[in-house]
């Protein structure tokens, strides 16, 4: 599992999102934070509280070009 922080042009406040290694969104904050650090710290705390084991497999970053 990973925790990411994001903001948007329409809402510059930071929020956190927990995603699995396969890219599936697990949970997202409703609370807004003034800094990216505060958002990430709270997101990691929430991830530890959830105590979820991520059994997904990350998608490969590079594709093989063998056989082309």
CATH number at residue 44: 3.30.160
Q: Is the pTM of this model over 0.85?
A: no
| Residue 55 resides in a domain | no
SS3 15: strand
Query: Which single residue is written with the structure tokens 């998608």?
Result: 59
Location of structure tokens 């990691």: 44
| Domain tally, the chain | 1
Q: How does DSSP classify residue 45?
A: H
46, part of any domain: yes
Render pLDDT for 2-47 as a digit per residue (tens, 0 to 9): 999 999 999 999 999 999 988 899 999 999 999 999 999 999 999 9
Token reading at 62: 């590079």
Instruction: Please give the residue range of the domain that contains residue 21.
Output: 2-50
d(CA 56, CA 21): 6
d(CA 3, CA 40): 7
């Amino acid at each position: 599992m990973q925790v990411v922080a994001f903001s948007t042009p329409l809402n510059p406040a930071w929020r956190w999102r927990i995603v699995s290694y396969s890219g599936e969104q697990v949970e997202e904050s409703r609370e807004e934070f003034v800094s990216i650090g505060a958002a990430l710290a709270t997101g990691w705390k929430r991830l530890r509280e959830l105590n979820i084991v991520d059994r997904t497999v990350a998608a490969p970053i590079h594709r093989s070009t063998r056989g082309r």
